[in-house]
Structure 1
Amino acid sequence: MRRIGVTTTIPSEVLLSANCEIVDLNNEFITNENYSALIDMAEKDGFPKSSCAWIKGIYGACIDNHIKEVVGVMEGDCSNTKALVEVFQQRGIKIYPFSYPTDRKLNMVKKEIDKLIKLFQVDIDTVEKYRLRLNGIRALANNIDKLTYIDNKASGFENHLYQISCSDFNKDHKKYKTELENKIKEIKHREPFNQKLRLAYIGVPPMTGDLYDYVESLDARIVYNEVQREFAFPRADSANNIYEQYLDYTYPYDVWFRLKVIKEQIKNRSIDAVIHYTQAFCHKAIEHIIISKEIDIPVLNIEGDKSNVLDARTKLRLEAFLDMLSDMKGVRG
């Protein structure tokens, strides 16, 4: 089976139709026990220290896992991906380019997906069969989301983990389906969480996975993970085909489209405040200028860099922010 690396969520249905194993290089990077060595590898190979840790980590994960083929998202994700895949090409790695069109029109999305279908020499009927199969798995991840914000039985980290893993279905969609089914059974038997403050997490998935446990230790819980939820395609059942489904995927498109869904979820989930995570040296950090003005509840911007744990300064800022919210809501003590 061919192993295909991906730089972010792409139409997985196409690769699975071609009997490929999908490897999300982001997940391979951040779950590596020696993740910092992957960053060091990239810097030794010439990546500047001022470049994003995710890009360096993706590079290191690709080399470390001996990936020979990569689908690189050239538009709609990281602005550095184009340069990254050029480095991959120099190393003899085959690149399949894919883009989410800036103007977000159905005919343009169709054109890009059809190009990918042609590159992998599959047919649309097989792709659609896989779409329905994968949407059944994604629905299980969406169930964990509901167990987070409706039943209050899933933690913020579980919400993050089981939705973000839909980017490559943990490299085996059949096993991942079973894993999700077992996790849902376990969660349903728990007592509900009782933290007083309900938070939204928006922005790229965090380098600092301990964020969720730390927030919960401060009598708050993240009940909405914006991008991770989009990886699980929560509105897939309203799409008639793969083209409509990826048109409705908010992450790669403009901030205004994202904000429409974010605002809906803030209201639906009774969110008290928002944590907006940005990555050092990432162009998406500039979007905080818009986000902070467009969202009408408190927003805290925190930034990550190379570390996979929260630093003392960020912990202090989170504690002060949540103390302020507790005072505002009168829930202290």
Structure 2
Amino acid sequence: MKKIGITTTVPIEILIAAGYEVKDLNNIFITDDNYDKYIDYAERDGFPKSSCAFKKGVYGAALKEGFKEIIGVTEGDCSNTKALEEVLRMKGIKVYPFAYPQSHDLKDLKKSLDNFMNIFNVSFEQVEKVRRRLIDIRKLIKKLDKLTYIENKATSVENHIYQVSASDFDGDYEIFQKNLIDKIREIENRKPIKKKLRLGYIGTPPMTLDLYDYVEKFDARFVYNEIQREFSFPRAIDCQNIYEQYHNYTYPYDINFRLKEIKKQISERKIDAIIHYTQAFCYRQIEHIVIKDCINIPVLNIEGDKLNVLDARTKLRIEAFLDMIIDLKEMKR
């Protein structure tokens, strides 16, 4: 099977219909025990130290893992992606473009998706067949999400891992589904997790995965992972076709569209506070100005860069923030 890399979540249904094994370069980078080798590789090739670690990691993963074809999102993703694509082309990698139109107009998105289907020579009917198959897996991820925030049995990091992995289903959706079914069965037999604080995580999926375990030391847990959940397309079952599904996807569009869903989940999941993660040197850091002004519960902004663990300063800020929220919650009682 042909292998193709993606730099962010794209219409995987089209690529699978075209016979590709799809791999998310972000996931390859971040899950490697020696993840920093990809960053070092990019910096040796000239990437500045003041550029996003994820972009450097994606570049390193693409070259070191021998990818010959890549999907580059030219609109609706990081502003550095276009430059990344130019360098990858220079290195001999074939880069296919895809765009999430900033107009967020369904007609414009339909044109973009139809063009993507034409590039890979697949029909709408072929893509819809794959989409319906993947919805079965998306339903299971949604079930695991409910085991997190309703039954309180799934851990925050399990919620993160299975949702973020929906960008590529670990390269094999059949095996992914089997493993997910086994995991859900295991989780269902657990006792509920009891914590005082219910947290929401919003923003780019973190470099620092120890964040999830760290907050649990302070009688808190995450019951919502915003972007990770969007990668799993939880509303796909209600969409009539692939056009609606990707129009309904919040991540590539403006912050106000994202905030509508975030506010809905804050209410539904009874969230006490939000931790907003931003990556160093990313334009999305500026969005925090809007987020903290529009969300009516406490929000803490933390920043990651190259480290895959929390630094001492960030740990202190999180501890102080959670202590404050617990005190406020007890005062209200």
Fold shared per TM-score above 0.5: yes
Letter in 1 for 2:147: L
- Conserved 8 A contact 1:38-1:56: yes
Aligned to 1:183: 183
Aligned residues of 1:207 and 1:308 also touching (Cα < 8 A): yes
Q: Which residue of 1 aligns with 2:165?
A: 165
Residue 308 of structure 1 aligns with which residue? Answer: 308
Instruction: Establish whether residue 256 from structure 1 lines up as the match of residue 256 from structure 2.
Output: yes
Identify the residue that residue 322 of structure 1 maps to in structure 2.
322
Partner of 1:71: 71
SS of corresponding position for 2:250: coil
Query: Hey, what does 2:294 align to over in structure 1?
Result: 294
* Distance in 1 between residues matched to 2:28 and 2:64, nearest whole Å: 9
User: Are the aligned partners of 1:207 and 1:305 in contact in 2 as well (CA < 8 Å)?
Assistant: yes
Q: Deviations over 1:39-76 (max 9, x none)?
A: 00000000000000000000001011100000011111
Give the drift of 1:176: 0.3
5+ long unaligned stretches in structure 2: none
What's the CA shift for 1:89?
0.3
Aligned to 1:127: 127
2:222 aligns to what SS in structure 1? strand
Report deviation, 1:167.
0.1
**Structure 1 segments of 4 or more deviating over 4 A?**
none
Aligned mates of 2:222, 2:127 — CA distance in 1: 34
Partner of 2:22: 22
Distance 1:243 1:263 in 2: 24
Letter in 1 for 2:197: L
Q: Which amino acid aligns with 1:200?
A: G
Tell me the distance in 1 between the aligned counterparts of 2:20 and 2:91: 21
Quote the residue 2:221 is aligned against.
Answer: 221
Match of 1:56 in 2: 56
- Structure 1 length-normalised TM: 0.99
Residues 59-108 of structure 1: CA distance to partner in whole angstroms, max 9, x if unpaired? 00101110000001111111100000000000010010001000101111
- Which residue of the partner structure matches residue 94 of structure 1? 94
Residue in structure 2 matched with residue 141 of structure 1 by the alignment:
141
**Could you tell me which residue of structure 2 aligns to residue 231 of structure 1?**
231
Counterpart amino acid of residue 252 in structure 1: P
TM-score of the aligned structures, taking structure 2 as reference length: 0.99
CA RMSD of aligned residues (A): 0.9
Distance 1:139 1:310 in 2: 32
User: Is there any run of 5+ residues in structure 1 with no aligned partner, and where?
Assistant: none
User: In 2, distance between residues paired with 1:223 and 1:295?
Assistant: 17
Matching residue of 2:273: 273
- Secondary structure at the counterpart of residue 131 of structure 1: helix
